[in-house]
Amino acid sequence: MDRSNWTSPLVGFVLLGLSAHPKLEKMFLVLILLMYLVILLGNGVLILVTILDSRLRTPMYFFLGNLSFLDICYTTSSVPLILDSFLTPRKTIPFSACAVQMFLSFAMGATECVLLGMMAFDRYVAICNPLRYPEVMSKAVYVPMAAGSWVAGSTSAMVQTSLAMRLPFCGDNVINHFTCEILAVLKLACADISINIISMAMANVIFLGIPVLFIFFSCVFIIATILKIPSAEGRKKAFSTCSAHLTVVVIFYGTILFMYGKPKSKDPLGADKQDVADKLTSLFYGVVTPMLNPIIYSLRNKDVKAAVRNLVTQKRFTW
């Protein structure tokens, strides 16, 4: 292709969002703003109680605090941009800002994949090997596990973002998305993207395939162990400790598989409807899931509910 048609990196991109559907924009503007506030409040409270309540200073709640912080970072990297795109038709984003946003969203997503696998391992040890739990999941073990999740996710994001943003882009640089989603950006490239596709496939195996298999086998062993517990009360208590995590895993991975695994429509009209569906699915993945996480963990966990009540009571007496 003629290099004169390539776009300078300094020009940036145009985010299309839902500009073709103004009624949906108005509705989602209010809805997403409210959900973002719930995300900040819910995850912020979870982080606070896991730090302040001594009963929650365990590996499981340490991972939960990391998950809540991750959800806040992930939504903060994209939601303000989404809200701005609703207010500003055909929102323009600088090349550098697009790269930063792409890195943050990819890093948080990859980190959450690994972190959910770490949390599944924690539940496996707690239920299947309770006597060895303090030894296996000591602070010298679970802190590096969480740190490794962040390092792995950030490293993968750095590789994917560098490979994507080094490509030449041509045309009007309109990204048919709310944010600089990597697949939407790659569609604008004027060069061969086979290396990008291969690297993303490898990342999917590492950050999606392996954690899913790990979580699946952990669940099999956990369920087998729970069924061997003689008392119904014991089975109920053991299942309640991992049911919240299983719910979060199903919602998180189910949304990803639906978003990237379904076949693409070849019909132009169907493709347009599918674009809207893809955008709404990405909103669910990026906003609804982080909002549900603290609700699920607090509703299904007596320790978290007790810690929140104690925190509210202490604040009330302080005031």
- pLDDT tens profile 238-257: 677 677 777 888 888 877 77
Neighbouring C-alpha atoms within 13 Å toward the C-beta of 270: 5
Q: Please compute the mean of the pLDDT values over residues 48-57 and round it to a whole number.
A: 85
Specify the pLDDT at position 248: 82
Of 19-33, 59-73, 92-106, 146-160, minimum mean pLDDT range: 19-33
The pLDDT of residue 124 is above 80: yes
Reported for 27-31, long-range contacts at CB under 8 A and 24+ positions apart, including other chains, are 28/86, 28/283, 29/83, 29/86, 29/87
d(CA 70, CA 74): 6
Of 202-206, 269-273, 294-298, minimum mean pLDDT range: 269-273
Element of type H or E holding 175: strand 174-175
d(CA 205, CA 128): 27
pLDDT, averaged across the chain: 82
The pLDDT of residue 316 is above 70: no
pLDDT top residue among 123 and 304: 123
CA distances (Å), 23 to each of 33, 34, 172, 281, in order? Answer: 16, 18, 25, 18
The pLDDT of residue 1 is above 60: no
Percent of the chain, pLDDT > 70? 84
Q: Please compute the mean of the pLDDT values over residues 198-211 and round it to a whole number.
A: 90
d(CA 139, CA 224): 28
d(CA 278, CA 276): 5
Question: Contact at 8 Å (CB) between 56 and 309?
Answer: no
CA distances (Å), 13 to each of 161, 193, 279, 282, in order? Answer: 15, 19, 17, 19
Closest C-alpha to 13, from 166, 188, 163? 188
Instruction: Please name the amino acid found at residue 153.
Output: G
- State the pTM of this model: 0.85
pLDDT top residue among 37 and 251: 37
3-state secondary structure of 169: strand
Phi, psi (deg, nearest 5) at residue 192: -65, 130
pLDDT top residue among 177 and 150: 150
Specify the pLDDT at position 279: 74
- DSSP symbols for 65-111: HHHHHHHHHHHHHHHHHHHHHHHSTTEEE-HHHHHHHHHHHHHHHHH
Domains and CATH numbers, the chain: 19-260+286-294 (1.20.1070.10)
Closest C-alpha to 159, from 190, 196, 187, 184? 196
Q: What's the pLDDT band for 264 if we cut at 50, 70, 90?
A: low
Of 114-123, 152-161, 269-278, minimum mean pLDDT range: 269-278
Specify the pLDDT at position 263: 54
The pLDDT of residue 68 is above 90: yes
Phi, psi (deg, nearest 5) at residue 93: -125, 130
pLDDT top residue among 87 and 234: 87
The pLDDT of residue 317 is above 80: no
Q: Please compute the mean of the pLDDT values over residues 78-104 and round it to a whole number.
A: 85
Question: Contact at 8 Å (CB) between 46 and 94?
Answer: no
Specify the pLDDT at position 297: 76
pLDDT top residue among 135 and 263: 135
The 3-state secondary structure of 212-245, one letter per residue: HHHHHHHHHHHHHHHHHCCCHHHHHHHHHHHHHH
Phi, psi (deg, nearest 5) at residue 125: -65, -40
Q: What's the length of the chain?
A: 319
The pLDDT of residue 4 is above 50: no
Specify the pLDDT at position 112: 92
In what order do the strands lie in the sheet containing 13-15? 91-93, 13-15, 174-175
d(CA 151, CA 255): 24
Of 144-153, 174-183, 303-312, minimum mean pLDDT range: 303-312
